[in-house]
Structure 1
Protein backbone atom coordinates (compact mmCIF):
# COMPACT_ATOMS: atom_id res chain seq x y z
CA UNK A 1 0.00 0.00 0.00
CA UNK A 2 1.28 3.46 -0.90
CA UNK A 3 1.90 5.82 2.06
CA UNK A 4 0.07 9.09 2.53
CA UNK A 5 1.36 12.10 0.64
CA UNK A 6 0.77 15.78 -0.20
CA UNK A 7 -2.68 15.20 -1.67
CA UNK A 8 -4.03 13.81 1.62
CA UNK A 9 -6.05 15.79 4.13
CA UNK A 10 -4.08 14.08 6.90
CA UNK A 11 -0.87 15.73 5.69
CA UNK A 12 -2.60 19.09 5.77
CA UNK A 13 -3.83 18.84 9.35
CA UNK A 14 -1.97 16.27 11.48
CA UNK A 15 1.32 18.16 11.79
CA UNK A 16 -0.31 21.56 12.28
CA UNK A 17 0.97 22.95 15.59
CA UNK A 18 -2.53 24.10 16.57
CA UNK A 19 -3.13 20.42 17.30
CA UNK A 20 -0.95 20.89 20.39
CA UNK A 21 -3.83 22.87 21.90
CA UNK A 22 -5.71 19.60 22.27
CA UNK A 23 -3.37 18.69 25.11
CA UNK A 24 -2.66 15.04 25.99
CA UNK A 25 -6.08 13.77 24.86
CA UNK A 26 -4.71 10.84 22.82
CA UNK A 27 -2.24 9.73 25.48
CA UNK A 28 -4.78 9.83 28.30
CA UNK A 29 -7.37 7.92 26.27
CA UNK A 30 -4.80 5.28 25.37
CA UNK A 31 -4.04 4.66 29.02
CA UNK A 32 -7.73 4.29 29.82
CA UNK A 33 -7.86 1.00 27.95
CA UNK A 34 -6.96 -1.27 30.90
CA UNK A 35 -4.65 -3.58 28.93
CA UNK A 36 -2.73 -0.68 27.44
CA UNK A 37 -2.56 1.12 30.77
CA UNK A 38 -1.23 -2.05 32.38
CA UNK A 39 1.41 -2.42 29.68
CA UNK A 40 2.66 1.08 30.40
CA UNK A 41 2.59 0.41 34.13
CA UNK A 42 4.58 -2.81 33.73
CA UNK A 43 7.06 -1.85 31.04
CA UNK A 44 7.36 1.88 30.36
CA UNK A 45 9.54 4.65 31.79
CA UNK A 46 6.48 6.89 31.48
CA UNK A 47 6.26 7.40 35.23
CA UNK A 48 9.93 8.26 35.74
CA UNK A 49 10.52 10.19 32.50
CA UNK A 50 7.11 11.35 31.28
CA UNK A 51 8.23 14.21 29.02
CA UNK A 52 11.13 12.21 27.61
CA UNK A 53 8.83 9.30 26.78
CA UNK A 54 6.38 11.60 25.01
CA UNK A 55 9.14 13.28 22.98
CA UNK A 56 10.56 9.93 21.88
CA UNK A 57 7.13 8.73 20.75
CA UNK A 58 6.00 11.85 18.89
CA UNK A 59 8.57 11.78 16.08
CA UNK A 60 8.04 8.17 14.94
CA UNK A 61 4.23 8.54 15.04
CA UNK A 62 4.44 11.70 12.91
CA UNK A 63 6.78 9.92 10.51
CA UNK A 64 4.30 7.10 9.89
CA UNK A 65 2.22 9.89 8.32
CA UNK A 66 4.93 12.11 6.84
CA UNK A 67 7.67 9.60 6.09
CA UNK A 68 6.77 9.07 2.44
CA UNK A 69 8.52 5.97 1.12
CA UNK A 70 10.10 5.48 4.56
CA UNK A 71 6.75 5.48 6.38
CA UNK A 72 6.32 1.70 6.37
CA UNK A 73 9.85 1.17 7.73
CA UNK A 74 9.14 3.69 10.48
CA UNK A 75 5.83 1.99 11.21
CA UNK A 76 7.53 -1.39 11.46
CA UNK A 77 10.04 0.06 13.92
CA UNK A 78 7.23 1.49 16.05
CA UNK A 79 5.44 -1.88 15.94
CA UNK A 80 8.58 -3.77 16.93
CA UNK A 81 9.06 -1.56 20.00
CA UNK A 82 5.97 -3.36 21.31
CA UNK A 83 6.91 -6.99 20.66
CA UNK A 84 7.99 -7.71 24.24
CA UNK A 85 5.30 -5.64 25.95
CA UNK A 86 3.13 -8.34 27.44
CA UNK A 87 2.06 -9.55 30.82
CA UNK A 88 -0.81 -10.45 33.10
CA UNK A 89 -3.74 -8.28 34.12
CA UNK A 90 -4.80 -8.10 37.79
CA UNK A 91 -7.68 -10.49 37.02
CA UNK A 92 -5.29 -13.06 35.53
CA UNK A 93 -6.00 -12.41 31.86
CA UNK A 94 -2.96 -12.01 29.66
CA UNK A 95 -2.27 -9.01 27.44
CA UNK A 96 0.11 -8.27 24.57
CA UNK A 97 0.65 -4.84 23.05
CA UNK A 98 0.46 -6.29 19.52
CA UNK A 99 -2.98 -7.73 20.04
CA UNK A 100 -4.83 -6.01 17.17
CA UNK A 101 -7.64 -4.76 19.41
CA UNK A 102 -5.12 -3.12 21.76
CA UNK A 103 -2.87 -1.79 19.02
CA UNK A 104 -5.75 -0.36 17.03
CA UNK A 105 -7.07 1.46 20.10
CA UNK A 106 -3.76 3.30 20.37
CA UNK A 107 -4.04 4.25 16.70
CA UNK A 108 -7.70 5.19 17.05
CA UNK A 109 -6.83 7.77 19.69
CA UNK A 110 -4.51 9.49 17.19
CA UNK A 111 -7.25 9.36 14.55
CA UNK A 112 -9.62 10.96 17.05
CA UNK A 113 -6.93 13.51 17.90
CA UNK A 114 -6.68 14.44 14.22
CA UNK A 115 -10.43 14.92 13.82
CA UNK A 116 -10.90 16.71 17.13
CA UNK A 117 -7.96 19.08 16.66
CA UNK A 118 -8.96 19.94 13.12
CA UNK A 119 -12.60 20.72 13.86
CA UNK A 120 -11.99 22.40 17.21
CA UNK A 121 -9.02 24.61 16.40
CA UNK A 122 -8.72 24.79 12.59
CA UNK A 123 -11.94 24.51 10.62
CA UNK A 124 -15.07 22.37 10.31
CA UNK A 125 -14.85 19.35 8.02
CA UNK A 126 -17.52 18.36 5.54
CA UNK A 127 -19.00 14.88 5.82
CA UNK A 128 -17.16 13.95 2.63
CA UNK A 129 -13.86 15.13 4.14
CA UNK A 130 -14.48 13.07 7.27
CA UNK A 131 -14.97 9.97 5.16
CA UNK A 132 -11.80 10.68 3.17
CA UNK A 133 -9.75 11.29 6.33
CA UNK A 134 -10.99 8.08 7.89
CA UNK A 135 -9.98 6.11 4.79
CA UNK A 136 -6.58 7.82 5.01
CA UNK A 137 -6.31 6.68 8.62
CA UNK A 138 -6.60 3.08 7.43
CA UNK A 139 -3.68 3.67 5.04
CA UNK A 140 -1.76 5.19 7.94
CA UNK A 141 -2.52 2.17 10.14
CA UNK A 142 -1.32 -0.19 7.41
CA UNK A 143 2.16 1.30 7.78
CA UNK A 144 2.52 -0.60 11.09
CA UNK A 145 2.05 -4.02 9.51
CA UNK A 146 -0.37 -5.15 12.24
CA UNK A 147 -3.50 -7.19 11.52
CA UNK A 148 -6.43 -5.01 10.46
CA UNK A 149 -9.09 -7.28 11.97
CA UNK A 150 -9.99 -4.63 14.57
CA UNK A 151 -10.24 -1.76 12.05
CA UNK A 152 -13.81 -0.49 11.52
CA UNK A 153 -14.80 -0.73 7.88
CA UNK A 154 -15.88 2.87 7.30
CA UNK A 155 -16.47 6.23 8.98
CA UNK A 156 -19.88 5.22 10.36
CA UNK A 157 -18.46 2.04 11.83
CA UNK A 158 -15.59 3.97 13.39
CA UNK A 159 -18.03 6.35 15.07
CA UNK A 160 -19.92 3.38 16.52
CA UNK A 161 -16.65 1.81 17.66
CA UNK A 162 -15.51 5.05 19.29
CA UNK A 163 -18.78 5.50 21.17
CA UNK A 164 -18.68 1.92 22.44
CA UNK A 165 -15.08 2.28 23.63
CA UNK A 166 -15.85 5.49 25.54
CA UNK A 167 -19.03 4.17 27.14
CA UNK A 168 -18.19 0.51 27.73
CA UNK A 169 -14.46 -0.19 27.59
CA UNK A 170 -12.31 2.61 29.01
CA UNK A 171 -11.64 2.90 32.73
CA UNK A 172 -9.75 4.97 35.29
CA UNK A 173 -6.63 2.81 35.15
CA UNK A 174 -3.80 3.84 37.45
CA UNK A 175 -1.69 4.90 34.46
CA UNK A 176 -4.44 7.17 33.16
CA UNK A 177 -5.04 8.75 36.55
CA UNK A 178 -1.33 9.42 36.90
CA UNK A 179 -1.23 11.04 33.46
CA UNK A 180 -3.82 13.66 34.47
CA UNK A 181 -2.74 14.03 38.10
CA UNK A 182 -1.07 17.37 37.40
CA UNK A 183 -4.46 18.78 36.36
CA UNK A 184 -5.36 18.77 40.06
CA UNK A 185 -1.97 18.84 41.81
CA UNK A 186 -0.02 21.04 39.41
CA UNK A 187 2.98 20.32 37.21
CA UNK A 188 6.32 19.48 38.83
CA UNK A 189 9.00 22.13 38.44
CA UNK A 190 11.13 21.47 35.35
CA UNK A 191 14.78 21.00 36.27
CA UNK A 192 15.81 23.83 33.93
CA UNK A 193 13.57 26.37 35.70
CA UNK A 194 14.93 27.95 38.93
CA UNK A 195 12.70 27.49 41.96
CA UNK A 196 12.22 31.22 42.40
CA UNK A 197 11.04 31.58 38.79
CA UNK A 198 8.76 28.56 39.05
CA UNK A 199 7.15 30.01 42.13
CA UNK A 200 6.09 33.03 40.07
CA UNK A 201 4.98 31.29 36.88
CA UNK A 202 3.65 27.96 38.17
CA UNK A 203 0.16 29.23 38.94
CA UNK A 204 -0.67 30.50 35.40
CA UNK A 205 1.19 27.59 33.80
CA UNK A 206 -0.81 25.09 35.83
CA UNK A 207 -4.06 26.90 35.07
CA UNK A 208 -3.39 26.67 31.33
CA UNK A 209 -2.29 23.04 31.57
CA UNK A 210 -5.46 22.09 33.43
CA UNK A 211 -7.64 24.06 31.01
CA UNK A 212 -6.20 22.36 27.93
CA UNK A 213 -5.94 18.90 29.49
CA UNK A 214 -9.40 18.64 31.02
CA UNK A 215 -11.09 20.71 28.34
CA UNK A 216 -9.62 18.54 25.60
CA UNK A 217 -11.00 15.27 26.99
CA UNK A 218 -14.36 13.76 26.00
CA UNK A 219 -17.04 14.44 28.66
CA UNK A 220 -17.44 10.71 29.32
CA UNK A 221 -13.79 10.32 30.26
CA UNK A 222 -13.70 13.42 32.45
CA UNK A 223 -16.44 11.81 34.53
CA UNK A 224 -14.65 8.44 34.70
CA UNK A 225 -11.41 10.11 35.80
CA UNK A 226 -13.18 12.37 38.31
CA UNK A 227 -12.02 15.62 36.70
CA UNK A 228 -14.30 18.56 37.55
CA UNK A 229 -15.45 20.64 34.58
CA UNK A 230 -18.23 23.19 34.96
CA UNK A 231 -20.60 24.75 32.45
CA UNK A 232 -18.58 27.95 32.82
CA UNK A 233 -15.38 26.02 32.04
CA UNK A 234 -17.03 24.66 28.92
CA UNK A 235 -18.12 28.12 27.78
CA UNK A 236 -14.59 29.46 28.23
CA UNK A 237 -13.14 26.52 26.32
CA UNK A 238 -15.57 26.96 23.42
CA UNK A 239 -14.83 30.68 23.30
CA UNK A 240 -11.12 29.96 23.23
CA UNK A 241 -11.52 27.39 20.43
CA UNK A 242 -13.69 29.77 18.40
CA UNK A 243 -11.09 32.53 18.77
CA UNK A 244 -8.33 30.22 17.51
CA UNK A 245 -10.43 29.16 14.51
CA UNK A 246 -11.22 32.76 13.61
CA UNK A 247 -7.50 33.54 13.53
CA UNK A 248 -6.99 31.02 10.72
CA UNK A 249 -6.19 33.73 8.17
CA UNK A 250 -3.48 35.18 10.38
CA UNK A 251 -2.13 31.73 11.18
CA UNK A 252 -1.73 30.87 7.52
CA UNK A 253 0.57 33.82 6.82
CA UNK A 254 2.99 32.83 9.59
CA UNK A 255 6.22 31.04 8.60
CA UNK A 256 5.88 27.31 8.09
CA UNK A 257 8.43 26.80 10.88
CA UNK A 258 5.84 28.21 13.27
CA UNK A 259 2.83 26.44 11.82
CA UNK A 260 4.06 22.86 11.40
CA UNK A 261 5.98 20.24 13.36
CA UNK A 262 9.50 19.41 12.08
CA UNK A 263 8.58 16.01 10.50
CA UNK A 264 5.80 17.69 8.53
CA UNK A 265 8.09 20.47 7.32
CA UNK A 266 10.72 17.96 6.26
CA UNK A 267 8.11 16.02 4.31
CA UNK A 268 6.84 19.16 2.56
CA UNK A 269 10.39 20.03 1.51
CA UNK A 270 11.00 16.50 0.22
CA UNK A 271 7.67 15.58 -1.36
CA UNK A 272 5.75 18.84 -1.78
CA UNK A 273 3.29 20.86 0.29
CA UNK A 274 -0.28 19.68 1.04
CA UNK A 275 -2.82 20.57 -1.62
Structure 2
Protein backbone atom coordinates (compact mmCIF):
# COMPACT_ATOMS: atom_id res chain seq x y z
CA UNK A 1 0.00 0.00 0.00
CA UNK A 2 2.90 2.33 0.77
CA UNK A 3 4.40 1.72 -2.65
CA UNK A 4 1.06 2.40 -4.30
CA UNK A 5 0.63 5.60 -2.34
CA UNK A 6 4.09 6.84 -3.34
CA UNK A 7 3.84 5.88 -6.99
CA UNK A 8 2.06 9.05 -8.25
CA UNK A 9 4.82 11.18 -6.71
CA UNK A 10 7.55 9.19 -8.45
CA UNK A 11 6.25 8.98 -11.99
CA UNK A 12 6.01 12.75 -12.53
CA UNK A 13 9.58 13.48 -11.42
CA UNK A 14 13.16 12.49 -12.22
CA UNK A 15 15.69 11.04 -9.75
CA UNK A 16 18.62 12.85 -8.22
CA UNK A 17 22.07 11.31 -8.49
CA UNK A 18 25.39 11.51 -10.36
CA UNK A 19 23.62 11.61 -13.73
CA UNK A 20 21.25 14.42 -12.73
CA UNK A 21 21.71 18.02 -13.80
CA UNK A 22 20.78 19.31 -10.35
CA UNK A 23 23.77 17.43 -8.93
CA UNK A 24 25.95 18.71 -11.76
CA UNK A 25 25.19 22.37 -11.12
CA UNK A 26 23.92 22.96 -7.57
CA UNK A 27 27.21 22.21 -5.78
CA UNK A 28 29.43 23.79 -8.45
CA UNK A 29 31.72 26.37 -6.83
CA UNK A 30 31.15 28.79 -9.71
CA UNK A 31 27.76 29.33 -8.10
CA UNK A 32 29.37 32.22 -6.19
CA UNK A 33 29.22 34.16 -9.46
CA UNK A 34 25.48 34.73 -9.08
CA UNK A 35 25.87 36.43 -5.70
CA UNK A 36 23.11 36.16 -3.05
CA UNK A 37 20.30 35.96 -5.64
CA UNK A 38 18.26 33.13 -4.05
CA UNK A 39 18.56 34.44 -0.48
CA UNK A 40 17.46 37.95 -1.45
CA UNK A 41 14.57 36.71 -3.58
CA UNK A 42 13.38 34.42 -0.77
CA UNK A 43 13.12 37.37 1.58
CA UNK A 44 11.11 39.36 -0.96
CA UNK A 45 8.11 37.17 -0.18
CA UNK A 46 6.60 39.17 2.68
CA UNK A 47 5.77 36.16 4.88
CA UNK A 48 9.21 34.64 4.49
CA UNK A 49 10.98 37.94 5.02
CA UNK A 50 8.93 38.51 8.17
CA UNK A 51 9.84 35.08 9.49
CA UNK A 52 13.53 35.86 9.05
CA UNK A 53 13.04 39.25 10.69
CA UNK A 54 11.25 37.75 13.70
CA UNK A 55 13.19 34.54 14.25
CA UNK A 56 16.62 34.58 12.59
CA UNK A 57 20.09 35.80 13.57
CA UNK A 58 20.34 37.11 10.01
CA UNK A 59 20.67 40.73 11.14
CA UNK A 60 23.05 40.18 14.05
CA UNK A 61 25.25 37.51 12.41
CA UNK A 62 24.52 37.00 8.71
CA UNK A 63 27.43 34.62 8.18
CA UNK A 64 26.25 32.35 11.00
CA UNK A 65 22.77 32.13 9.51
CA UNK A 66 24.16 31.15 6.10
CA UNK A 67 26.58 28.65 7.64
CA UNK A 68 23.73 27.00 9.56
CA UNK A 69 21.16 26.98 6.76
CA UNK A 70 22.99 25.85 3.64
CA UNK A 71 24.71 22.57 4.66
CA UNK A 72 21.46 20.67 5.41
CA UNK A 73 20.01 21.82 2.09
CA UNK A 74 23.07 20.56 0.23
CA UNK A 75 22.86 17.30 2.17
CA UNK A 76 19.22 17.00 1.13
CA UNK A 77 20.21 17.22 -2.53
CA UNK A 78 23.34 15.10 -2.39
CA UNK A 79 21.94 12.49 -0.03
CA UNK A 80 20.01 9.44 -1.13
CA UNK A 81 16.25 8.92 -1.16
CA UNK A 82 16.57 7.02 2.11
CA UNK A 83 19.33 9.05 3.75
CA UNK A 84 19.13 12.82 3.45
CA UNK A 85 18.51 15.86 5.66
CA UNK A 86 15.24 16.98 4.06
CA UNK A 87 12.95 16.32 7.01
CA UNK A 88 15.47 17.90 9.37
CA UNK A 89 15.38 21.06 7.23
CA UNK A 90 11.60 20.98 7.44
CA UNK A 91 11.66 20.56 11.20
CA UNK A 92 13.92 23.59 11.60
CA UNK A 93 10.92 25.62 10.43
CA UNK A 94 8.17 24.17 12.65
CA UNK A 95 8.27 27.03 15.16
CA UNK A 96 8.83 29.84 12.67
CA UNK A 97 5.47 31.49 12.81
CA UNK A 98 3.98 34.77 13.88
CA UNK A 99 1.99 37.79 12.83
CA UNK A 100 2.39 40.08 9.84
CA UNK A 101 2.19 43.88 10.32
CA UNK A 102 -1.41 43.80 9.06
CA UNK A 103 -2.39 41.17 11.63
CA UNK A 104 -2.41 38.18 9.26
CA UNK A 105 -0.71 35.03 10.50
CA UNK A 106 2.27 33.39 8.82
CA UNK A 107 3.99 30.03 9.18
CA UNK A 108 7.18 28.90 7.46
CA UNK A 109 5.62 25.52 6.68
CA UNK A 110 2.69 27.01 4.80
CA UNK A 111 3.01 25.18 1.44
CA UNK A 112 3.02 28.37 -0.64
CA UNK A 113 5.69 29.97 1.56
CA UNK A 114 7.86 26.88 1.81
CA UNK A 115 7.68 26.22 -1.92
CA UNK A 116 8.77 29.78 -2.72
CA UNK A 117 11.97 29.23 -0.74
CA UNK A 118 12.57 26.04 -2.72
CA UNK A 119 11.67 27.74 -6.01
CA UNK A 120 14.45 30.28 -5.54
CA UNK A 121 16.97 27.44 -5.27
CA UNK A 122 15.57 25.75 -8.38
CA UNK A 123 15.74 29.04 -10.28
CA UNK A 124 19.26 29.50 -8.90
CA UNK A 125 20.36 26.29 -10.62
CA UNK A 126 18.67 27.28 -13.87
CA UNK A 127 20.01 30.84 -13.83
CA UNK A 128 23.55 29.85 -12.89
CA UNK A 129 23.88 27.12 -15.51
CA UNK A 130 22.29 29.15 -18.31
CA UNK A 131 24.27 32.31 -17.49
CA UNK A 132 27.71 31.08 -16.45
CA UNK A 133 28.12 27.56 -17.88
CA UNK A 134 26.16 27.06 -21.13
CA UNK A 135 22.87 28.02 -22.68
CA UNK A 136 20.42 25.37 -21.54
CA UNK A 137 18.09 23.67 -23.98
CA UNK A 138 14.38 23.42 -23.23
CA UNK A 139 14.88 19.72 -22.51
CA UNK A 140 17.63 20.47 -19.98
CA UNK A 141 15.47 23.05 -18.22
CA UNK A 142 12.63 20.54 -18.02
CA UNK A 143 15.01 17.90 -16.67
CA UNK A 144 16.32 20.21 -13.95
CA UNK A 145 12.79 21.07 -12.93
CA UNK A 146 11.61 17.44 -12.80
CA UNK A 147 14.65 16.55 -10.70
CA UNK A 148 13.83 19.45 -8.39
CA UNK A 149 10.45 17.87 -7.68
CA UNK A 150 12.23 14.86 -6.19
CA UNK A 151 14.38 17.26 -4.18
CA UNK A 152 11.32 19.11 -2.84
CA UNK A 153 9.51 15.95 -1.82
CA UNK A 154 12.43 14.97 0.40
CA UNK A 155 11.35 17.74 2.78
CA UNK A 156 8.07 15.98 3.51
CA UNK A 157 6.03 19.14 2.98
CA UNK A 158 2.78 19.35 1.01
CA UNK A 159 3.53 19.76 -2.69
CA UNK A 160 0.19 21.34 -3.57
CA UNK A 161 1.93 24.60 -4.52
CA UNK A 162 4.46 22.88 -6.78
CA UNK A 163 3.84 23.35 -10.54
CA UNK A 164 3.62 20.14 -12.55
CA UNK A 165 5.97 21.08 -15.41
CA UNK A 166 8.75 23.51 -16.19
CA UNK A 167 6.39 25.56 -18.36
CA UNK A 168 4.03 25.92 -15.39
CA UNK A 169 6.99 26.75 -13.15
CA UNK A 170 7.92 29.59 -15.54
CA UNK A 171 4.39 30.97 -15.26
CA UNK A 172 4.53 30.64 -11.47
CA UNK A 173 7.89 32.42 -11.34
CA UNK A 174 6.72 35.30 -13.54
CA UNK A 175 3.59 35.78 -11.42
CA UNK A 176 5.58 35.80 -8.19
CA UNK A 177 8.10 38.28 -9.55
CA UNK A 178 5.58 40.59 -11.19
CA UNK A 179 2.72 40.49 -8.68
CA UNK A 180 3.72 39.05 -5.30
CA UNK A 181 7.27 39.88 -4.16
CA UNK A 182 7.95 43.13 -2.33
CA UNK A 183 10.92 45.12 -1.07
CA UNK A 184 10.72 43.64 2.44
CA UNK A 185 13.17 45.15 4.92
CA UNK A 186 14.92 41.78 5.28
CA UNK A 187 15.68 41.70 1.55
CA UNK A 188 16.74 45.35 1.63
CA UNK A 189 19.16 44.58 4.45
CA UNK A 190 20.55 41.65 2.46
CA UNK A 191 21.65 43.93 -0.38
CA UNK A 192 22.43 47.04 1.67
CA UNK A 193 26.16 46.63 1.14
CA UNK A 194 25.68 47.40 -2.57
CA UNK A 195 25.46 51.08 -1.66
CA UNK A 196 26.87 51.14 1.89
CA UNK A 197 29.81 48.76 1.55
CA UNK A 198 30.21 45.25 2.92
CA UNK A 199 30.60 45.00 6.71
CA UNK A 200 33.98 43.78 7.89
CA UNK A 201 33.96 40.01 8.48
CA UNK A 202 34.80 39.14 12.08
CA UNK A 203 37.76 37.01 10.98
CA UNK A 204 39.41 39.92 9.13
CA UNK A 205 41.39 42.55 11.00
CA UNK A 206 40.39 46.22 10.62
CA UNK A 207 43.71 47.03 8.93
CA UNK A 208 43.41 44.18 6.42
CA UNK A 209 39.80 45.12 5.67
CA UNK A 210 40.81 48.72 5.06
CA UNK A 211 43.07 47.45 2.28
CA UNK A 212 40.67 44.82 0.91
CA UNK A 213 37.37 46.72 1.01
CA UNK A 214 38.10 49.24 -1.80
CA UNK A 215 38.52 46.31 -4.20
CA UNK A 216 36.06 43.86 -2.70
CA UNK A 217 33.06 46.17 -2.35
CA UNK A 218 32.75 47.23 -6.02
CA UNK A 219 33.13 43.62 -7.17
CA UNK A 220 30.54 42.40 -4.64
CA UNK A 221 28.13 45.16 -5.70
CA UNK A 222 28.60 44.31 -9.38
CA UNK A 223 28.00 40.57 -8.88
CA UNK A 224 25.09 41.10 -6.51
CA UNK A 225 23.23 43.70 -8.55
CA UNK A 226 23.97 42.08 -11.89
CA UNK A 227 22.77 38.74 -10.56
CA UNK A 228 19.34 40.04 -9.58
CA UNK A 229 16.29 39.91 -11.88
CA UNK A 230 15.45 43.37 -13.29
CA UNK A 231 12.15 43.46 -11.38
CA UNK A 232 13.86 42.76 -8.05
CA UNK A 233 16.58 45.26 -8.88
CA UNK A 234 13.94 47.93 -9.42
CA UNK A 235 11.96 47.11 -6.26
CA UNK A 236 15.10 47.21 -4.13
CA UNK A 237 16.37 50.41 -5.79
CA UNK A 238 19.71 48.83 -6.69
CA UNK A 239 21.83 51.15 -8.83
CA UNK A 240 22.40 49.81 -12.35
CA UNK A 241 22.93 51.15 -15.85
CA UNK A 242 22.98 50.02 -19.46
CA UNK A 243 26.75 50.14 -19.38
CA UNK A 244 26.93 47.92 -16.30
CA UNK A 245 24.45 45.53 -17.92
CA UNK A 246 26.66 45.24 -21.01
CA UNK A 247 29.70 44.59 -18.82
CA UNK A 248 27.80 41.97 -16.83
CA UNK A 249 26.74 40.17 -19.99
CA UNK A 250 30.36 40.18 -21.23
CA UNK A 251 31.47 38.85 -17.85
CA UNK A 252 28.93 36.02 -18.06
CA UNK A 253 29.75 35.23 -21.71
CA UNK A 254 33.44 34.87 -20.79
CA UNK A 255 32.58 32.13 -18.31
CA UNK A 256 30.47 30.32 -20.92
CA UNK A 257 33.32 30.12 -23.45
CA UNK A 258 34.56 26.70 -24.44
CA UNK A 259 38.17 27.24 -23.24
CA UNK A 260 37.04 28.37 -19.79
CA UNK A 261 34.69 25.40 -19.45
CA UNK A 262 37.42 23.04 -20.65
CA UNK A 263 39.85 24.31 -18.03
CA UNK A 264 37.21 24.14 -15.31
CA UNK A 265 36.20 20.59 -16.22
CA UNK A 266 39.84 19.46 -15.89
CA UNK A 267 40.36 20.89 -12.42
CA UNK A 268 40.24 18.54 -9.39
CA UNK A 269 36.82 17.81 -7.88
CA UNK A 270 37.99 19.52 -4.68
CA UNK A 271 38.23 22.79 -6.61
CA UNK A 272 35.12 22.42 -8.75
CA UNK A 273 32.60 21.27 -6.12
CA UNK A 274 31.78 21.97 -2.50
CA UNK A 275 32.33 19.24 0.08
CA UNK A 276 28.71 18.06 0.05
CA UNK A 277 28.72 17.48 -3.68
CA UNK A 278 32.10 15.78 -3.43
CA UNK A 279 30.72 13.40 -0.80
CA UNK A 280 27.70 12.57 -2.95
CA UNK A 281 29.74 11.84 -6.05
CA UNK A 282 32.30 9.79 -4.06
CA UNK A 283 29.54 7.69 -2.51
CA UNK A 284 27.99 7.04 -5.92
TM-score by length of 2: 0.93
Work out which of the residue numbers 258, 261, 275 in structure 2 matches 1:262. 275
Q: Is 2:38 the partner of 1:53?
A: no
Structural mapping, 1:107-186, within 5 Å? 107-186=118-197
In the alignment, which residue of structure 1 is the partner of 2:39?
27
Residue aligned with 2:231, SS:
helix
In structure 1, the gaps of 5 or more residues are none
Q: Is 2:30 the partner of 1:18?
A: yes
Distance 2:82 2:186 in 1: 32
In the alignment, which residue of structure 1 is the partner of 2:114?
103
Distance 2:143 2:205 in 1: 48
In the alignment, which residue of structure 1 is the partner of 2:262?
249
- By relative contact order (CA 8 Å, sep 6+), the higher-ranking structure is 1
- Provide Cα deviations, 1:178-219, integer angstroms capped at 9, x if missing partner: 010011100111222222221111011001110111110000
Aligned structure 1 segments of 4 or more residues deviating by more than 2 angstroms: none
Distance 1:18 1:121 in 2: 8
Alignment: residue pair count: 270
TM-score by length of 1: 0.96
Instruction: Give me the CA root mean square deviation.
Output: 1.2
Shift, 1:70, TM fit: 4.8
- Provide Cα deviations, 1:103-160, integer angstroms capped at 9, x if missing partner: 0000000000000000111111111111111111111100000001000111111000
In structure 2, the gaps of 5 or more residues are 1-9
